[in-house]
Structure 1
Amino acid sequence: MTAPAGHPAPGRHAAAPGARRVLAQAGFEARMILRNGEQVLVAVVIPVLALVGLVQGTFVEIDTAGSSRVDFLTPGVLALAVMTASFTSQAIATGFDRRNGVLRLLATTPLGRGGLLAGKVLGVLAVEAVQVLLLGAAAVVLGWRPGVAGVVLALVGVVLGTAAFTALALLVAGTLRAEAVLALANLLLLVLALGGGVIVPADRLPGPFAALASWLPSGAFGDVLRGALLDGSLPLLPVLVLAAWAVGLGALAARFFRWH
């Protein structure tokens, strides 16, 4: 006996539609990050504490170019928070999934490799939505009042930044051992946070950092969010630099990523 056309054969279950599989994987990825205390600490708690400390504290002198401290610092802290979710958390999780054979197993399911990667990206965006809401709420309490147009433009920057740093995460996680990924992801985040033009604009960094940082994805990302949220516009050169990093890193990740 054969099953009617369009129905699974007896004893078999049809795979869910592709979009549903991707959304299910995205929900799983987001829950795994948000249920991990260490990841929540790095991705949410530390950025909120950093924002409050930098805005309220007087231990660091910051030239805000006429803006209030909260207006000047919020875009950079938002950029740093997005980097923790899209790069550090994603690189470490993917690196250990690869070592443990999880990626190879999932790639053979109906989800497929493309669906797995799409689910990871959507999961990162879901975590970033939580980050942006919590950081935005904290900034509003501290006196931040962004314009609506600036917020919309900043979302464009967040998507570009997420693409660039997720691609970097996959490149690192797909080419190095899990232990090396853990060390390198945390080290890179620290270096980029301190000297990569994220919180403090590149032109205010000392010496060679000033010339280099604006061409890094971190510096370009910080400049894009500052342009959107401070000036209500997207600065062309940082947008192009960030988009170039997203495309280039994406191509390298697609070429060199190993599933086992």
Structure 2
Amino acid sequence: MSPTPTTATPSDVTPARTGGGRTGGLRLTALHTRAQLLETVRVPIAVIGTVVFPTLTMLFFVVPQPFADDPAQATAATAQISLFAVMSVCLFTYGVGVAEDRALPWDSYLRTLPVGAGPRLAGRLLNGLAFALVSLVPLVVVAWLLTAAALPADRLVLTAGALAVAALPMLGLGLWIGYGMSTKAALAVAQVLLLPLAFGGGLFLPPQMFPGWLDAVSTWLPTRAGRDLVVSATTGADLPGTTWPVLAAWALLTAVLAVRAYRRDEGRRFR
């Protein structure tokens, strides 16, 4: 893919290099975000997959089921699939997307600019956030039209915060894949991890339907802890005592892996 000239220009670099302050950093972040969004939408199948796959999962796994007519169960199921949508963005936009960018000469050039990694990384995070929001819109519409799911207004902010916290281990995992692996390896690993983590975490079927051994294993997965947090935020269900320790441990572990992969990649290519 050819370099995108809108990512950075000499005039954009000057404020950050000369201490132009927060305005220069914000402008660079906006430019990186815009460039990465444009790069992504130029591959329509990537956008379609991000938007359609979670909604199709909702249509297949939730809408035809009898519990779709129960407000509490339908809301919990929608919360589970919403976390699956965010998880998909983390593994593919941050994982495979970062690996693909690293293979381009343009990424190597950006790392040589005297502006630091902050604006580039912030733009990447905002790009993923935008696609996560886009993937949730049709999902919420389907749940509203075809199920009895209902989210009280006073739980909207709480649910958004729960989704953000639940996504932290997946974000770290995606960045570890992206900065630590080649494009082919990243794609394979993301695909291998997506469905087992989603199914084992209770994102497709509620954990109450699991056999005892699977429920015990599921308790220690980041997706299960994230699922329990989001369901509790949306429905008011009791939060298991293992949720916060498991989420914190996985968030810390994947953050360490992501930082080490980034530093190793930077040291290998620019020493």
- Report the TM-score range of the alignment, normalised by the length of the smaller protein: 0.7 to 0.9
Of the structure 1 ranges 196-205 and 176-185, higher mean CA displacement relative to structure 2 is found in 196-205
Matched, 1:50 2:57: yes
Q: 1:119-198 maps to which residues of 2 (within 5 A)?
A: 119-142=123-146, 143-198=148-203
Residue 67 of structure 1 deviates from its aligned partner by: 5.0
Contact in 2 for aligned 1:82/1:128 (Cα 8 Å): yes
| Cα gap change, 1:96 to 1:236, in 2 (>3 Å) | same
Residue 227 of structure 1 deviates from its aligned partner by: 0.7
Matched, 1:90 2:84: no
Q: In 1, Cα distance between the equivalents of 2:62 and 2:206? A: 16
Equivalent residue number for residue 81 of structure 2? 77
Equivalent residue number for residue 211 of structure 1? 216
Contact in 2 for aligned 1:198/1:223 (Cα 8 Å): no
Q: In 2, Cα distance between the equivalents of 1:224 and 1:33? A: 30
* Structure 1: 4+ residue segments shifted above 6 A: none
Q: In 2, Cα distance between the equivalents of 1:252 and 1:116? A: 19
Gaps of 5+ in 1: 1-11
CA RMSD of aligned residues (A): 2.5
- The residue identity in structure 1 corresponding to 2:30 is L
Overall identity of the aligned pairs, in %: 27
Equivalent residue number for residue 13 of structure 1? 11
Q: In 1, Cα distance between the equivalents of 2:107 and 2:214? A: 37
Contact in 1 for aligned 2:166/2:230 (Cα 8 Å): no
Secondary structure in structure 1 of the residue aligned to 2:93:
helix
Secondary structure in structure 2 of the residue aligned to 1:197:
coil
Contact in 2 for aligned 1:201/1:222 (Cα 8 Å): no
Secondary structure in structure 2 of the residue aligned to 1:56:
coil
Equivalent residue number for residue 4 of structure 1? none
- The residue identity in structure 2 corresponding to 1:145 is A
Q: In 1, Cα distance between the equivalents of 2:107 and 2:212? A: 43
- The residue identity in structure 2 corresponding to 1:91 is G
Equivalent residue number for residue 255 of structure 2? 250
| Cα gap change, 1:131 to 1:95, in 2 (>3 Å) | same
Residue 164 of structure 1 deviates from its aligned partner by: 2.0
Of the structure 1 ranges 106-115 and 153-162, higher mean CA displacement relative to structure 2 is found in 106-115
State the number of aligned residues.
Answer: 245
| Cα gap change, 1:196 to 1:101, in 2 (>3 Å) | farther
Give the alignment's TM-score, normalised by structure 2: 0.80
Secondary structure in structure 2 of the residue aligned to 1:174:
helix
Equivalent residue number for residue 9 of structure 1? none
Gaps of 5+ in 2: 1-9, 16-23
Q: In 2, Cα distance between the equivalents of 1:234 and 1:128? A: 25
Per-residue CA deviation, residues 170-215 of structure 1 (Å, 9 max, x unaligned), is 1112122221111110111021122232233445323432112222
Per-residue CA deviation, residues 206-231 of structure 1 (Å, 9 max, x unaligned), is 34321122221111111111111111
Return the match for 2:230 from 206, 225, 230. 225
Equivalent residue number for residue 104 of structure 2? 100
Residue 83 of structure 1 deviates from its aligned partner by: 0.5
